[in-house]
Homo-oligomer: A and B are copies of this chain.
């Protein structure tokens, strides 16, 4: 074979890998998709698509068949479906006040889950890893015989160095430079690395893949926990910055000279003005209910018209509006999604947020933008962690499979 023939062969193989990746990605995202639709959407002819889906089926990643409810009238349309029971990922979520773990099938369905509520203070790396690793082992033990774990993803409420899953900065749990990913991988003992991501980054990915932002290539996800984080999808990809610490929307300086102190050491950050503590302080409820329950109590009171709760929600709405205005002027997104505790807060604060947008956003950027709460309930960040777990498989299906088997 001449050198350039070898080059052409290599290029053809690269192309085939890319096409396998693309087919599996679509099946994972859309759940069940016909070969005709794949052919149309990928611009490849039917026989090429058949070869590709056959190869993925032979590898045990997809299955071809007639979807339930079809096959009676007319010619049934054959669809390609993910092998969700036998190809799975483990997803973990470390939020400020709970730990979550799930076995998630290819295609994104949660097959089994574990959850632990925990005290906020004094939660060190070792305890968190012990709880999660035990959950993980149970979830693996509960899988079908012969099922294959293809990856592990974890969401954490802090700044993450993606390369090795180190938590660089997680003020709410008091973590600085903790080797979370490596320790969890060791605790699980599956011989798989644990990919760790920032919770709001992962939330944005989940909304984009299977939430309110399906098929929306420019969106912003705002996640409220105790703090406020953000994930920004630009042109279909997560904006993660030069070293993975982008999208720190919570530390946008909205009140530069008169702001409330923020856990990060600064003042007037968005998080300091609209986070849990701000809302509870404004509502005069700092000493009783805290956390999600506290937030929901204030929102419920505001709905009944209680003045102080109403005022608290309005103030949060004003500052949230300033933040959203800046984000829209900077990013010209098609959609802004609110998740975590902001899912509870946003509906009652929406009129204030919209008033700010009307007053301050450039008309051209205002004309199309939509605002919505997450479509994934309280599982937004967990769903994002599952996407991390599947990322390598989706990038190069057969090679990854050979590695993890």
Q: Give Cα A15 to B3, complex, Å.
A: 16
A307-350 vs B, Cβ < 8 Å mask (1 yes, 0 no): 00000000000000010011101111110000000000000000
B235 touching A237 by the CB < 8 A rule? yes
**22 A-B contacts (beta carbon < 8 Å):** A4-B51, A7-B47, A7-B48, A8-B12, A11-B11, A11-B12, A218-B242, A218-B246, A230-B330, A235-B237, A241-B365, A242-B333, A243-B367, A245-B365, A248-B329, A249-B330, A251-B362, A253-B325, A253-B360, A256-B360, A267-B360, A269-B360
State how many angstroms separate the Cβ of A198 from the closest Cβ of chain B: 11
Contact of A365 among B47, B248, B254, B334 (CB under 8 A): B248
Please report A residues at the B interface, Cβ cutoff 8 Å: 3-4, 7-8, 11-12, 15, 44-45, 47-48, 51, 159, 168-169, 217-218, 230, 232, 234-235, 237, 239-249, 251-256, 264, 266-267, 269, 322, 325-327, 329-334, 359-365, 367-369
Q: Given A48-B7, A242-B333, A362-B264: A322 and B256 within 8 A (CB)?
A: yes
Q: Give Cα A364 to B159, complex, Å.
A: 8
| Chain B CB within 10 Å, residue with most, of A168, A235, A240, A269 | A235
A243 touching B332 by the CB < 8 A rule? yes
B168 touching A364 by the CB < 8 A rule? yes
B218 touching A359 by the CB < 8 A rule? no
B329 touching A251 by the CB < 8 A rule? yes
Closest to A240 in B: B332
Q: Give Cα A242 to B336, complex, Å.
A: 12
State how many angstroms separate the Cβ of A281 from the closest Cβ of chain B: 19
State how many angstroms separate the Cβ of A266 from the closest Cβ of chain B: 4
A243 touching B368 by the CB < 8 A rule? yes
State how many angstroms separate the Cβ of A276 from the closest Cβ of chain B: 19
B244 touching A332 by the CB < 8 A rule? yes
Contact of A45 among B7, B264, B362 (CB under 8 A): B7
Q: Give Cα A221 to B253, complex, Å.
A: 20
B332 touching A330 by the CB < 8 A rule? no
Closest to A326 in B: B252
| Chain B CB within 10 Å, residue with most, of A51, A330, A331, A363 | A330
B243 touching A364 by the CB < 8 A rule? yes
State how many angstroms separate the Cβ of A349 from the closest Cβ of chain B: 16
State how many angstroms separate the Cβ of A1 from the closest Cβ of chain B: 13
State how many angstroms separate the Cβ of A316 from the closest Cβ of chain B: 14
State how many angstroms separate the Cβ of A356 from the closest Cβ of chain B: 8
Chain B residues whose CB sits within 8 angstroms of the CB of A48 once the complex forms: 4, 7
Q: Give Cα A4 to B169, complex, Å.
A: 52
